[in-house]
Each structure stands twice: as structure tokens, then as C-alpha cells.
């Protein structure tokens, strides 16, 4: 009883297996002969049937040949993002071409010219898996269904197209911003198979075509090229293919930034702001409120202008060309403010500055070290024309040669007292203090004599002039009117040659 039941059971199981086997047998490997009578979809399901086609195996798994995958791309759209994102957006159609001998159907269906399908066909045949190493994100495009097209030629040549969009990294070097040129690239690499199994190649002619309506707002496309290479699998142990070299494709394009926007929105306004800060030199030296207001407001407006520019840039550690410009302009505006402070301080000085010569060197010297100049004057006078100094101390001529101005109204005039050399002095003065001169060491006289002997212009040595503080202030302002624009011009020449010639 028990035994017969087990026997029955075994019989049933055996019979079932046999019948299953037979049903699979009849279902498997449907005939391909006279394939012209089938519809495309029917024919393909027969061609790529499980029994004769394994889409997980390489097209050349039998011969162990290298599979060559030829690529080409059509680029619709390139949009470099804002500089601080360091990436760009690309819309492109990528077409891959390879030959799968298992799909050659010309002998079965001689009438058929092409099998064309979309995603469903793609899911039935082998296709290389490529990835974009420098992608930030990428996706297949398509609204309803993804834009994938696959077509199989009678010879087994498969064309696989997909429309993609990608945001790709581009490590821009912004040292010359905004006069920079950037080279960005799209890389394609084999994901699964190493270079000894799968080789990627660009199509022979025109592998990358660009849409004629490529609108690059901020850039112009200068050049583009393609390269084929073999890269070391860096995450080798993670990849299926194991350690080894992987075939890779690269499409590189060179973009030049359009400077027009930056010129109109940054460089020219900042030049104007710097020029505005020079207005201060035409104002009175003691006109503190307008001059301070002018200085600070130009500084503030320039910083506002510059910071709106800086916001669009990544915070890189190196100095960019735009920052050199910023520092230069800030320096000029700051210098104009400092000039005012300097001039204002001098303006309010009490003492008249004695000057050896009316010459920028001596004027600046006297303003920076007024006491020193004064001392020098006294020393000089004692050394060069002792008669004179003595005469002033003792004679009645003091009122004429006095260094201090006579009255308050005197300040406004340039009082140039030229002290002529000893030889030109009226004899009266020397005589009046003759006794004092004799007390001086003889060396001084020698010095005088030798001086008059040697040179034609000894008077220059002993010519001292004076300027009132107000005159000096006005003098400095006047010079600044010329000096600042000239220096800014020099800065500009240096800057623009650096930008365009280096
Ligand atoms: C199933 O069919 C295969 C041949 O296709 C055969 O070798 C096998 O023995 C069959 N199995 C059974 C249980 O009949
Ligand atoms: C890439 O190709 C371009 C032109 O085809 C060539 O000038 C350049 O040297 C190549 N670069 C590499 C890394 O092979
Ligand atoms: C990868 O390529 C380099 C040269 O390009 C070669 O030296 C190295 O042996 C290759 N590695 C493998 C695993 O083939
Ligand atoms: C490529 O990968 C295959 C296995 O997929 C392996 O047998 C072969 O050695 C690899 N080639 C290289 C050069 O690493």
C-alpha cells in the first residue's frame, strides 16, 4: 500500500518532467527559416530567443575576439553653468555601433532590410555599458518613453542611439577670469569590459558634430577635438572586469569667455569710479566734508560693484585677474583718500616750510620732515653764507630777509627769498658784520672760494625758497591731478598686457 503510493508518485513526477521537457523542447528554438513571413517583432523574438541568444554574453564570446564599439555624437546644446558651479550642461545624441554576428539574419530573412526598435528591442540584445566618469548627473531624455533607438542591419551590425542630457564637471582654472579660456570634456568609458575585450573608438570621420544652433551665451566655442585612450581602472577591484585597463573616449571643447559683459558691467564702471575719486583734487584742501564724502562714497560704490561680481565665482585660493583689478582700483581710491588726509594736515600747519629748491623732492621732504628741513636750512646758511646769517642776526636788513611772513595776509603769496651767494651780496652787509665773520673758521671761506671757483652755478646751492603750507597743499593737489591719472594709465597698460599677452 505504502510502497505502491510512492511508486505512483514517482511515476507522476517522471511523467511530468518528461512532458515539461517535451513542451520546452517544442517551444525552444523556433524555426528561423523563411523568416520573411514573420512580422518584425515575431522574427526578432525568434532571432533573439533564449535558446540561441544570451544577451549577457559578448557578441564575440565564441571567437574571443575584441569587440569594437564605434561611437559618434551629435551635440545639440552646451551650456556652461555659472562659474562657481564648475560644471556644464550638455544635450547630445550618442550613437554606438558594433557588430553582433549572432544577430546576422540575412540568410534567414533576405527580404528584410532593417529591424528597428526602441527600448523593448534594447532590452533583448547585448549592448555595451558605457559610463561618463566626469558626470555630475545624467539621464536619458524623452518625455513619454526614453529616446532610445536601436536598429539591426542584416549583417548583424547594431546601431544604438540615445538622447541624453548630462551635467558634467569641468574643473575650470579661473586664474585669468574673466579673460579665461576653459577646456571641458566629456569622457566615455567602458564600464564592464577591459580593453582586451572591448575597445571603444570614435567613428572615422566627423565623430562629433555640433548643432549649428549652438547658443553659448557667455562663451564662444574656440575649438573641439576627440581622443581615444586607455585608462587604468582606478576602482579596479570593484569592477566586474577586474584590474586592468579600460578603453575610453574623450571629447574636448575649448571655450573662450565673452568679455563684453564684464567690460560693460565691471571694468568700465570701475574705471569711472576711480576717475570720480580724482575729483577730490580739484576741491579746496580744507573742504573736508565734500572730499571725505567723495572718497568714502567712491570706495563704497566700488566695493559694492566688485562684490556683486565676486559672488558669481567659486572661492578658490589663488588670485584671479579680476581680483588684481579689484585690488588695483581699491588702491587708487584709497590713495586719493590718503592724499586728502595728507594735504589737509599740511594745510593746517602753521609754519612756513623753507625749501632748497622748488622741486618735488624738496617739497615732499619738507612736508614729511618739516623740522629737518628747517635745521638743514640753518645749517646750510651757516655753512654757505655765514655773512648772510650773521648779517641777519645783527644788521638792520633783517626786515627784508626775514623768513617769517610780515603779516597775516602774507601767507597767500609765494615768498621766494633768494639768498644770493656771498659774492653777490652787497658789500654793506658783509662790512657791517665783518668782525663776526673773522671769528668763523677759515675753512668756511675756503669752501666758499672753492665753490665759486669750480662751478658756474654756485648760487643754486644757496638759493632757498619758502612755501606756505597752503601753497604746498595746493601744489600737491595740482600734481595729483596729473599723477593719479598717469599712474592709473600705467596700471591699465600693465594689466591689459598681462591679461592679453600672457
Ligand atoms: C529532456 O531533453 C533532453 C534533450 O533535449 C534530454 O537529454 C533529456 O534526457 C530529457 N529529459 C527527460 C527527463 O526526458
Ligand atoms: C587629442 O587629440 C588632439 C587632436 O586630435 C591632439 O592634439 C592631442 O594631443 C590629443 N591628446 C591626447 C592626450 O592624446
Ligand atoms: C595598462 O596599460 C599600461 C600602459 O598603458 C601597461 O603598462 C599596463 O601593463 C596595462 N595593464 C594591464 C593590466 O594590461
Ligand atoms: C580583462 O578581463 C578578463 C575577464 O573579464 C580577464 O580575463 C583579462 O585578464 C583582463 N585583461 C586584462 C588586461 O586585465
Task: Give the residue, 287 or 382, on which the prediction is more confident.
Answer: 287
Q: For position 353, what pLDDT does the model report?
A: 74
Confidence of residue 120 (pLDDT cuts 50, 70, 90): confident
Q: Which of the two residues, 215 and 435, has the higher pLDDT score?
A: 215
Integer CA distances (angstroms), 376 to 280, 349, 480, in order: 33, 19, 27
Long-range own/partner contacts, residues 45-51 (CB < 8 A, 24 or more apart)? 45/124, 47/103, 47/105, 47/108, 48/103, 48/124, 48/125
Q: Indicate the burial class of 428 (C-beta count within 10 angstroms; 0-12, 13-18, 19 or more).
A: exposed
Which pLDDT score is estimated for 200?
95
Share of the chain above pLDDT 90, in %: 34
Q: Dump pLDDT digits (tens) for 61-114.
A: 888 889 999 999 999 988 887 777 788 999 999 999 999 999 999 888 888 888
**Nearest Cα to Cα of residue 169 among 80, 294, 296:** 80
Q: What is the structure's pLDDT at 16?
A: 56
SS (H, E, C) 279-298: HHHHCCCCCHHHHHHHHHHH
Ligand nearest the Cα of residue 22 is 1
Where do the structural domains in the chain lie, given as residue ranges?
35-258, 261-349+481-501, 355-400+411-448+460-467
CA of 243, closest atom in ligand 3: 13
Residue 25 CB less than 6 A away from ligand 1: yes
Give percent above pLDDT 70 in the chain: 74
Q: Which residue's CA is the closest to the ligand 2 atom numbered 13?
A: 227
Question: Could you tell me which residues are beta bridge partners of residue 167?
Answer: 89, 137
230 CA to middle of ligand 4, Å? 14
Q: Is the CB of 233 under 6 A from ligand 4?
A: no
Question: Of the candidates 495, 491, 492, 472, which has an alpha carbon nearest to the alpha carbon of residue 339?
Answer: 472
Q: Quick one: how far is CA 84 from the chain centroid?
A: 11
- Give the pLDDT of residue 446: 42
pLDDT at 394: 42
Q: Is 194 in the pocket of ligand 4 (CB under 6 A)?
A: yes
The CATH homologous superfamily to which domain 35-258 belongs is: Neurotransmitter-gated ion-channel ligand-binding domain (2.70.170.10)
* Interval between CA 9 and ligand 1 midpoint (Å): 20
Write the pLDDT tens digit of every residue in 317-356: 889 899 999 999 999 999 999 999 999 988 988 878 777 7
Give pLDDT, residue 269: 95
Vertex 68: Cα angle to 116 and 120 (nearest 5): 25
- Mean pLDDT to the nearest integer, 368-385: 68
Q: How is 100-169 classified by DSSP, letter by letter?
A: -GGG--TTT-TT---EEE-HHHHTTS----EE-TTEEEEEE--SSS--EEEEE-TTSEEEEEEEEEEEEE
- Which residue, by CA, sits nearest to atom 12 of ligand 3? 244
Does ligand 2 lie within 6 Å of residue 131's CB atom? no
User: What separation in Å is there between the alpha carbon of 204 and the centre of ligand 4?
Assistant: 27
Instruction: Look up residue 368 and give its three cell numbers.
Output: 614729511
- Of 29-33, 134-138, 143-147, 160-164, least confident by mean pLDDT is 29-33
pLDDT band at 39 (very low <50, low <70, confident <90, very high): confident
User: What DSSP line would sit under 298-355, residue for residue?
Assistant: HHHHHHHHHHHHHTTS---SSPPHHHHHHHHHHHHHHHHHHHHHHHHHHHT--SPEEE
Kindly indicate the confidence band of residue 441, based on its pLDDT and cuts at 50, 70 and 90. Answer: very low
* 195 Cα: distance to centroid of ligand 2 (angstroms): 20
Q: What is the pTM of this model?
A: 0.69
Angle 183-188-190 (CA atoms, 0-180°, nearest 5)?
A: 155
Q: How far is the CA of 117 from the centre of ligand 3 (A)?
A: 38
Residue 242 banded pLDDT, cuts 50, 70, 90: low
Give me 46's grid cell.
525568434
Question: Ligand 2 pocket test: which of 203, 224, 227 has the largest number of ligand atoms within 8 Å of its C-beta?
Answer: 227
Mean pLDDT across the chain: 79
Domain 261-349+481-501: give its CATH architecture.
Up-down Bundle (1.20)
> What would the 3-class secondary structure string for 11-69 be?
HHHHHHHHHHHHHHHHHCCCCCCCHHHCCHHHHHHHHCCCCCCCCCCCCCCCCCCCEEE
Task: Output the 3-class SS for 204-256.
Answer: CCCCEEECCCCCCCCEEEEEEEEEEEEEECCCHHHCCCCCCEEEEEEEEEEEE
Q: Is the pLDDT of residue 479 over 80?
A: yes
The answer to whether residue 55 scores a pLDDT higher than 50 is yes
The neighbour count for residue 123, using CB atoms within 10 Å, is 12
378 — pLDDT class (breaks 50, 70, 90): confident
With a 6 A CB cut-off, is 230 part of the ligand 3 pocket?
yes
Which atom of ligand 4 is nearest the CA belonging to 240? Answer: 5
Looking at ligand 4, which atom is closest to the CA of residue 244?
14
And the C-alpha cell for 406?
Answer: 610780515
Instruction: Residue 333: name the closest of 284, 272, 414 by CA.
Output: 272
Among the listed ranges 157-166, 284-293, 439-448, which one has the minimum average pLDDT value? 439-448
Amino acid at each position: 500500500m505504502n510502497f505502491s503510493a510512492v511508486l505512483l508518485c514517482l511515476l507522476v513526477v517522471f511523467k511530468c518532467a518528461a512532458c515539461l521537457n517535451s513542451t520546452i523542447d517544442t517551444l525552444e528554438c523556433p524555426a528561423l527559416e523563411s523568416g520573411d513571413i514573420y512580422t518584425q517583432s515575431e522574427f526578432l523574438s525568434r532571432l533573439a530567443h533564449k535558446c540561441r541568444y544570451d544577451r549577457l554574453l559578448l557578441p564575440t564570446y565564441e571567437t574571443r575576439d575584441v569587440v569594437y564599439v564605434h561611437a559618434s555624437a551629435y551635440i545639440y546644446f552646451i551650456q556652461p553653468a555659472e562659474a562657481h558651479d564648475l560644471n556644464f550642461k550638455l544635450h547630445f545624441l550618442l550613437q554606438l555601433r558594433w557588430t553582433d554576428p549572432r544577430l546576422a539574419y540575412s540568410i534567414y530573412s533576405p527580404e528584410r532590410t532593417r529591424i528597428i526598435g526602441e527600448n523593448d528591442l534594447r532590452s533583448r540584445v547585448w549592448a555595451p555599458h558605457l559610463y561618463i566618469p566626469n558626470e555630475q548627473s545624467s539621464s536619458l531624455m524623452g518625455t513619454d518613453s526614453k529616446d532610445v533607438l536601436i536598429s539591426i542591419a542584416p549583417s548583424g551590425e547594431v546601431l544604438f542611439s540615445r538622447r541624453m542630457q548630462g551635467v558634467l564637471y569641468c574643473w575650470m582654472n579661473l586664474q585669468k577670469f574673466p579673460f579665461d579660456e576653459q577646456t571641458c570634456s566629456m569622457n566615455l568609458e567602458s564600464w564592464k569590459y577591459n580593453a582586451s575585450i572591448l575597445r571603444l573608438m570614435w567613428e572615422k570621420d566627423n565623430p562629433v558634430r555640433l548643432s549649428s544652433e549652438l547658443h553659448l551665451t557667455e562663451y564662444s566655442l574656440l575649438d573641439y577635438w576627440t581622443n581615444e585612450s586607455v585608462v587604468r581602472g582606478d576602482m579596479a577591484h570593484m569592477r566586474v572586469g577586474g584590474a586592468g585597463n579600460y578603453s575610453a573616449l574623450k571629447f574636448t571643447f575649448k571655450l573662450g569667455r565673452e568679455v563684453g559683459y564684464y567690460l560693460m558691467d565691471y571694468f568700465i564702471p570701475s574705471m569711472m569710479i576711480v576717475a570720480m575719486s580724482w575729483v577730490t583734487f580739484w576741491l579746496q584742501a580744507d573742504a573736508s566734508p565734500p572730499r571725505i564724502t567723495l572718497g568714502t562714497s567712491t570706495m563704497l560704490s566700488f566695493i559694492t560693484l566688485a562684490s556683486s561680481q565676486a559672488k558669481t565665482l567659486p572661492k578658490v585660493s589663488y588670485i584671479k585677474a579680476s581680483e588684481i583689478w579689484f585690488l588695483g582700483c581699491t588702491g587708487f581710491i584709497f590713495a586719493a583718500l590718503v592724499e586728502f588726509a595728507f594735504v589737509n594736515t599740511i594745510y593746517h600747519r602753521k609754519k612756513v616750510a623753507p625749501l632748497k629748491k622748488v622741486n618735488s623732492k624738496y617739497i615732499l621732504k619738507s612736508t614729511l620732515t618739516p623740522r629737518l628741513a628747517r635745521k638743514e636750512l640753518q645749517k646750510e646758511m651757516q655753512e654757505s653764507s655765514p655773512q648772510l646769517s650773521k648779517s641777519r642776526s645783527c644788521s638792520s636788513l633783517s626786515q627784508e630777509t626775514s623768513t617769517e611772513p610780515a603779516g597775516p595776509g602774507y601767507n597767500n603769496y609765494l615768498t621766494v627769498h633768494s639768498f644770493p651767494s656771498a659774492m653777490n651780496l652787497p658789500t654793506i652787509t658783509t662790512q657791517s658784520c665783518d668782525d663776526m665773520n673773522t671769528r668763523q673758521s677759515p675753512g668756511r671761506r675756503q669752501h666758499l672760494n672753492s665753490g665759486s671757483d669750480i662751478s658756474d652755478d654756485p648760487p643754486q646751492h644757496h638759493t632757498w625758497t619758502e612755501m606756505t603750507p597752503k601753497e604746498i597743499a595746493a601744489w600737491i593737489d595740482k600734481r595729483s591731478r596729473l599723477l593719479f591719472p598717469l599712474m592709473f594709465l600705467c596700471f591699465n597698460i600693465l594689466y591689459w598686457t598681462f591679461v592679453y599677452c600672457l
